[in-house]
Amino acid sequence: MAAYSVDLPLKSIMTQLSMYAIGSTLLHSAACVINDICDVDFDRQVERTKSRPLPAGIISIREATTFLIVLTVAATSMLLLTSPTAGLVGLLGIFPLHALYPLMKRWTWWPQAWLGLAMNWGYPVAWLSITTLNLPVVATFFCGTICWSIFYDTIYACQDREDDVKAGVGSTAVLFGSWIRPILTGFATTFIACVVYAGMLNGQGLAYYVVSCGGGAIHMCWQLLSWDMKLPSSCLAKFRSNGDLGYILLAGMLLDCYIRRQ
């Protein structure tokens, strides 16, 4: 969307996408490692996670910590390829956002909301690496993606609801109780509304609304209608399908940029 607002050449867009794909992968991997390190005692109490390398003793805490340091250094170094402002803002995504996320389930029923902040912090960082901040657009889209993260991670957490209650783990999957489907419908609706409104603020074209907004709305409806919250395999499948939703959003944005240049 930042590229669309300044009419960035397609070659530069692909360069930026490649850079952030690598950086995001490194940071996400580091976040998974620190989460597993902090949650090792919880994971031993949950049927689905007790056979993971750390709780099962296949990998030691020291080995995992070494790997975490390597990943964190690599992810941080990617910020050197951005603008100084984007780099400084990006550091906040590493600490406190990603670094403190594993502790949130001990302090609040809303770890998914903190995850939304951490997982989507790359959006303002990427925007700042291309142009100056357009606060209305960035804030609207960013709030929408937080709702999206709460949506998909709550679905994911439904796999372990009973074990989380026994282990004392905070989770929106536990907090929402029997209201989980209507509440998640609200978050999904808010997400799509934010995507639409951010597009209006940014002056996006038809392809964005048809593919990103329309396709995203259809995908969300499909998830909500076909999801069986009592079936762990359904929870995992719907969680993973949100990767496809991300590609739908990206496809609409790229197509919009391409059409604009014709």
Q: Is 17 exposed, middle or buried (0-12, 13-18, 19+ CB in 10 A)?
A: middle
| H-helix segments, the chain | 2-6, 10-38, 40-43, 61-78, 84-92, 99-107, 111-119, 122-130, 135-157, 161-167, 172-175, 180-202, 206-207, 215-226, 232-260
CATH code: domain of residue 160: 1.10.357.140
Q: Which portions of the chain are predicted below pLDDT 50?
A: none
Reported as a single tens digit per residue, the pLDDT across 186-212 is 999 999 999 999 999 999 999 999 999
d(Cα 127, Cα 134) in Å, to the nearest integer?
A: 9
d(Cα 177, Cα 179) in Å, to the nearest integer?
A: 5
Reported as a single tens digit per residue, the pLDDT across 76-107 is 999 999 999 999 999 999 999 999 999 999 99
Q: State the pLDDT at residue 69.
A: 98
Contact yes or no for 241/224 (Cβ under 8 A): no
d(Cα 105, Cα 157) in Å, to the nearest integer?
A: 11
Contact yes or no for 179/146 (Cβ under 8 A): no
Of 170, 173, 155, nearest in space to 234 by CA = 155
Q: State the pLDDT at residue 166.
A: 85
Q: State the pLDDT at residue 145.
A: 99
Q: State the pLDDT at residue 54.
A: 95
The parent domain of residue 254 ranges over: 2-260
Of 260, 179, 191, nearest in space to 221 by CA = 191
Q: State the pLDDT at residue 186.
A: 99
Q: State the pLDDT at residue 168.
A: 87
> Domains in the chain: how many in total?
1
Residue 24: C-alpha distances to residues 122, 123, 182 (Å): 8, 11, 31
